[in-house]
Structure 1
Amino acid sequence: MPIDAEKAVAAEPRSTRISWGHKDVQLYHLGIGAGADPDRADPATDPGELRYTLESRLQVLPSFATVAGAGVVGGLSSPGIDIDLAAVLHGGQSVRVHRPIPVTGSAVQTSKVAAVYDKGKAAVLVLRTEAADDEGPLWTNDAQIFVRGEGGFGGERGPSERVAHPEVAPDRVVERPIRPDQALLYRLSGDWNPLHADPEFARLAGFDRPILHGLCTYGMTLKAVTDTVLGGDVTRIRSYRTRFAGVVFPGETLRIQMWTGENQVRVEVGAVERDGAPVLGDTFVEHS
């Protein structure tokens, strides 16, 4: 079996020093649609957008942590893992920030395979990365990666992330268009999986054309919640988790539904052009 679960989990964590600057942050924000908010009359110069795009006013959306360092694809080279990228789908993602991410910084990022679960027809890898700088912990990322065809090895099935759909109407609904070139721009932040750019590779993976990165949808959704519910203040965000419920194609429109509670926003995301086909489910933003 290409995945040796015992070897993968037992492997020593790998540490690397990472660094980033304002251009990395700006590129990431542009990749998730900053400067193009359809709710703003002039989004390129609106003060609410400049906090994502102008270096003198810049703040860092916590989902930036998902592209800092090696990213998800880098974690797939861990000991005990030898898989075909065409069989890989991103199943879920969580980010917890321990304090606001600085615009310019460096940190030691430690990566490991935290768990390998057996879902029958697929294996699920939980890839954990933790980053800390001289002042202490910055963030903890958990990526759940589905590897089709690698289940059935007799391992633990793992926890279920499913929660019941809200029975009441959402408190807020916004729509965010995805540019036709969104995946090409987003991948410049470090996720080079050809599934999101190469039509031939996408067909090998079972899609008729390249799909958008799940983490791009993830970032677009967090920005929408931040701007709509949190007054654009990224420092209020404590954690953010989602389950990737379906694919998105560049050129589509995201419908983002929000249910607000005490220190938490529940979110569901669907694709407008496909009758609201689910994109993100079981999604929660915890905030102060």
Structure 2
Amino acid sequence: MPIDARQAVAAAPRRTSLTWDHKDVLLYHLGIGAGIPATDPAELRYTLESRLHVLPSFTTVAGGGTAQSGGLTAPGVDVDLAAVLHGGQSIEVHRPIPAHGTATRTSRITAVHDKGKAAVIVLRAEAADAEGPLWSSESEIFVKGEGGFGGERGSSTRLKQPVRTPDHTVERPVREDQALLYRLNGDWNPLHADPGFAERAGYDRPILHGLCSYGMALKAVADTALGGDVARIRAYRARFAGVVYPGETLRVRMWRETPAPGRIQLSVTAVEREDAPVLADTVVTHT
């Protein structure tokens, strides 16, 4: 079997050195749609090095990697990239992410869940620099056709969407070339660029990276509900509920939770496909 769950979970933690600078941060921000309008002072905080702040979702690509990479190259894991989708992602930032940095990321597979027709690899990572912890993350990697090995199914708890009107609703266009630009951050899966590969994976055309939608939604929250102050963001989690095609539009609905004022619940859907789900079970925790 391509996934040996016992071997994967028993493997020693892997340590990776990460280095990034303002060029990496700028590329990431452009990859998630920043810079429109190009001269807007609010956008220049994402696109001009002299004003640069770092959206916390940059941590998913810091150092030129992706949140998934450690899970797909771990001992006991040998899978076809055409069968791989990002199932969920969470991050917790312990302090603002610097525009230039060097850190050590320690990662390990903490579980492999058996969903019947698929397996879900859970990858936990911690990053720290000379001053201490920077961020923690957890990725769920969905691998089609690799279930049925008799393992635990894992949690399937779902977050109920509020029935009231959202506090904020914004729409964010996905450019036709968005996936081609975003993949320069380090996720080279041809699913996001090669039409033939995408067809073999069961899609009409290449799809957008789930982590790109993830970053676009967090930017929408920062800009709309947090006054553009990315330093207020403490944690962010989402389940990838459906695909996005380049050229579509994301509709991001936001509800401020009460009586928990430091939480915002999101719903992200694809406008052109009758609000087909994109991100679900999505929450931003902030100060």
TM-score (norm 1): 0.96
Alpha-carbon distance in 2 for matches of 1:193, 1:50: 30
**Are residue 52 (structure 1) and residue 51 (structure 2) matched?**
no
Q: Shift of residue 68 of structure 1?
A: 1.3
- Which residue matches 2:111? 115
Q: Secondary structure at the match of 1:212?
A: coil
Mapped to 2, the partners of 1:243 and 1:192 lie a distance apart of 22
- Between stretches 69-78 and 210-219, larger displacement belongs to 69-78
Q: How much has 1:142 moved relative to structure 2? A: 0.7
Write out aligned runs for 1:139-178 (5 A).
139-178=135-174
The alpha carbon displacement at 1:163 in A equals: 1.4
RMSD: 0.8
Partners of 1:48 and 1:164 lie apart in 2 by 32
Residues in 1 aligned to 2:122 and 2:99: alpha-carbon distance in whole angstroms: 28
Counterpart residue number, 1:275 = 274
Equivalences for 1:12-161 in 2 at 5 Å? 12-36=12-36, 43-69=37-63, 70-75=65-70, 76-161=72-157
Report if the CA contact (8 A) 2:68-2:139 is conserved: no
For 2:92 and 2:67, the matched residues in 1 are separated by 16
Q: After superposing the two structures, state which structure 1 stretch, 192-201 or 164-173, moved more.
A: 164-173
Within 1, Cα distance between the matches of 2:67 and 2:232? Answer: 25
State the 1:73 CA deviation. Answer: 4.3
- Aligned partner of residue 235 in structure 2, secondary structure: strand
CA contact (8 A) 1:60 1:103 kept: yes
2:131 partner amino acid: E
**Residues 213-253 of structure 1 deviation map (CA, whole Å, 9 limit, x = unaligned):** 00000000000000000000011000000000100000000
Secondary structure of 1:139's match? strand
Report the Cα offset of residue 128 of structure 1: 1.6
The size of the alignment, in residue pairs, is 282
Structure 1 residue matching 2:62: 3-state secondary structure: coil
Q: Percent sequence identity over matched residues?
A: 70
Q: Deviations over 1:164-222 (max 9, x none)?
A: 12111111100000100000000001111100000010001000100000000000000
Counterpart amino acid of residue 214 in structure 1? G
Extract unaligned runs of 5+ from structure 1.
Answer: 37-42
Contact 1:202 1:208 in 2 (8 A): yes
Amino acid at match of 2:15: S
Aligned residue identity for 2:108: K
For the residue of structure 1 that corresponds to 2:98, the secondary structure is coil
Which letter maps to 2:27? L
Structure 2: gaps (5+ residues):
none
Deviation >6 Å, runs of 4+: none
C-alpha distance in structure 2 between counterparts of 1:114 and 1:122, whole Å: 17
- TM-fit CA distance, 1:91: 0.6
Using the size of structure 2 for normalisation, the TM-score is 0.97
